[in-house]
Structure 1
Amino acid sequence: MLYWISMKVKEIRPGAAVPGGIIRVEVEGLNGVTDVRVEIGEVEAAFLGASQNVLTLKVPEGVSESGVVVYQGQKKARRPLRLGRLLAQELHSVANPVVDDQGLIYCTFSGARGEKVPFSVYAIDSHGDKQPFLADIVNATALAIGPDGLLYISSRHTGTIYRSSFDKRLEKYAEGLGLATGLAFDGVGNMIVGDRGGTLYRISASRQTSVLCELEPSVSAYHLVAAPDGGVFVTGPTLSTQDSIYRVSASGQVEVFFKGLGRPQGMAFDPEGNLQVAASYQGRKGIYTFRGGSPEWTVAGPMLTGLAYSPARDRLYLVDSSNLFVLDLA
């Protein structure tokens, strides 16, 4: 006697992804894996691994619809998956993008060490129209919008922080900051700058500079995000495979918030106030969210360098070294 066994997609981890991300699809009712086919967003996906119960897949380029469909013979099973899309290309982001109150997204074209590129910062609208915004900053690295509503940019090449109005008037704001990379503003308006050589500086609104703390040097950049209590969270990839997120208090006390990430980079807070980081953990790349003590894999992606939310918190923008993606959350 033959029994017809239905097929069901039990779970997809994580629940959101952008092109280039790797997802795990748990399936019940497969009859082997030799004739299985999967579409993600109506585009056939490549298998990176397959077993009787779990399919490991890479999210393809050009996805247009959300959802995963598994086919085997006459059987078909579907499950929703929130999919991001490519918004802009030909960038070189090495840290978070930023979004202004009009919804424009700003990304760097950082360039190789000491390289002077035609344009250092681009402005991109919600439809993906990319326009040059600033030139003449060598190795533009981190971006932040200050309490004054102006755009601040660090240069790891010159150790300088630049300030720009949104009509593109550029000035030097602070100098002599080593390999200036990470950039954030604390709750009282002080600028925090990360010199990847091992120092965090605090610059007051009157431009007085002091050392906030010292940390293990980073091989690439420090990434900063201001904490609600007036401190900052800091990442800085090293040669270790077990990198940390540090929490630095307003008085400069350093503690390890979490250790065990691979190449942790840009950070942000989600709409519920949970810390998120672009990193690899246990071999899986993407965005991780801290709702408790351990990181939760939230968005699958390539090796992402940063993230930022829209003003309405209904869109998440993600960058890797050359692309800008958008994930609709509404």
Structure 2
Amino acid sequence: MSRDHPDLEYVAFERDDPAPAKGPAAPAKGGALLRRLPTPVWQTRQKDLPLLSSPPELSKTWSMRFTGRASREMESFAFATTGHATLKYVAVVVPKGVRPSAWLIYFRHTAQAKDFSGNLLELGAGDYIEGRMQVAKQIAISEKNVGAILPIAMGSCGEFAGNQAFVTKCLEEIELSLYGTHFKPMLLAASNSDGLFQLDKFLQNCPTLRTRLKGIYDFDGTHHVKSGGISLVVPGARTFRYEGRLSPTPETVPGRDWPSDEIFLTRRMSANPAMVPLALSRWRQHSAFGSIRPGENPLSTHKKGDPLNEAHTMVDFNWLHHHIPTCMLHHGLVSTPGL
């Protein structure tokens, strides 16, 4: 079974990969970095994962509910780079009929050649937009006027990880292509898994763009590195770091007797950056929970912090690592002031 990143994310199934989408592409104008492509048929490894029911509950109750439904219509676009850029493609998804008031730049985890067969755009973007990461659905259900930009290159996010002039011009060209004019809306940034390192390079090397950031979302980068060393602290931005296997529970925070889950969660998540604990016991209502706890009643009462109830094997760790980005963008967008 192939993986989109070795030993970090399980893949429920993998279908035969069709050839890259073909069709007339708009020619790039003189000096342009991007040329717009016909939107391909996106490919996915998994679809229709549960969405959060109510993001505010994350700071109030331990068990998360998954009954959310997205009704807003979204549309997607694709661009290829011109010249000799390391970046190969940029995928874009926006709410239909509305110009975004903020762009979310999403730094995906490392794309490896062994996982693609001439379909880096279709699968590399599709599995984020419509598949496992379901970015379109999460934006739709958040009801925020946000568009997402997904830069794609083999082994990195290319120039988006640190070339400020390149990123700025790409943003302008995308807006010109889709809306006829360009301006400087708010920016948001997200990273999944080891995309954290690409996000950090962006923050370090794009100071002007960094000043436009209003929200930063780290989906389990702590799977690779503890929060020390990459702080994601940006003045004026609300930062959320979603933690899987390193999640604390009320029982594992030394020297504290928490009177309630709500107090524990609120204090953890009211800081900025907010460390969002997503211990395994919080996921018991997730429809796929039985894949790692077969034969167990997921709604039975268990003591939080009990090693038998929390993540304690790589199977548990990888399950968490896989599912965090499938629904937590919803929480980040809803919880970011000013969007």
TM, length-normalised to structure 1:
0.26
Compare CA radii of gyration and give the structure with the larger one: 1
Task: Determine which structure has greater relative contact order: mean sequence separation of CA pairs < 8 Å that are 6+ residues apart, divided by chain length.
Answer: 2
The structure with the largest helix share of the pair is: 2
TM, length-normalised to structure 2:
0.26
